[in-house]
Amino acid sequence: MAVLAVVLILAAISLVYFWETRGREHFLYREVTVMAHSVEAGTIITADMLDVKSIDKGTIIEGAIVSKSSIIGKKAAHFIPGYSQLSQTYFEDENIVLKTDEYIFTIPEDWIITIPNSLRSGDIIYFYPVKIPDEKDESKETDGGARNRSKEDISGIPEEGTGDYILESVVAYLKDSSNREVVTISEEERYDGSSKIASLEIIAELEDISYLKDLAENSYRFIILYKDSQI
């Protein structure tokens, strides 16, 4: 009996120790993302502004942010106190300011040959055209019902091998396959992205959009490059 009593006492002590050290937090608490310090309205959120805190499950707000990457790159919609719980309603996408003759245009995926994975919103990009052989070209020339673009429609294309670009533009948005903004999740390196780029949206005038469309219809595709000033 004495041995059994000792075993029960040790088991009880172990259970109390487990509950106080790990059990309570595991069963009653949940980790959520919080602000590491207070931020003012309009502040663009970066990784170093965020922290993780264990919160009593009973006090967690509806829609509390768990993943930091879901709000990095967004703008605070209002003042947010430090170490407060966060909700998507506290943030909004950074506004793109357009001139009267500018528009947001999504580059069709099949127009692009290659695009840097480290590209981010706000980068200046350059379009380099590449002629892709098309078996349908000959049939288009002989088909009286098909529209044939004249050389004037796509004039100004650099000769092959010159290394010249035909359009300079600014990246408005980069989205992944789930239509979420692709942002940098590392505190220092832009190459650590939140996801893979699936959609590119640029700022362009109607004339530029029409020019790209004419080129695409004449079997041109584009290599998209940018210059990283940090390299």
Distance CA 142, CA 217 (A): 17
Residue 210 in this model has a pLDDT that exceeds 80: yes
Q: Rounded to whole angstroms, how far apart are CA atoms 96 and 172? A: 7
> Quick one: pLDDT at residue 129?
93
Give pLDDT tens digits for 174-199. Answer: 888 888 778 766 555 666 777 789 99
Mean pLDDT of 70-88: 84
Compute the mean pLDDT over every residue in the chain, rounded to the nearest whole number: 77
Per 3-state DSSP, the chain is made up of helix, strand and coil in percentages (nearest 5) of 25, 30, 45
Residues of the chain with CATH 3.90.1210.10: 25-92
Distance CA 66, CA 33 (A): 5
Share of residues in the chain with pLDDT > 90 (%): 24
DSSP secondary structure code for residue 179 in this structure: S
Cα 113 from Cα 49, distance rounded (Å): 36
* Tens-digit pLDDT profile for residues 4-30: 666 666 666 765 555 556 555 555 678
Q: Can you tell me the distance from the alpha carbon of 83 to that of 16, in angstroms, rounded to the nearest whole number?
A: 30
Cα dihedral value 38, 43, 45, 46, nearest 10: -90
Integer CA distances (angstroms), 197 to 104, 122, 151, 176, in order: 17, 15, 33, 5
**Spelled out in words, what is the top-level CATH class assigned to the domain 25-92?**
alpha beta
| pLDDT the model gives residue 146 | 38
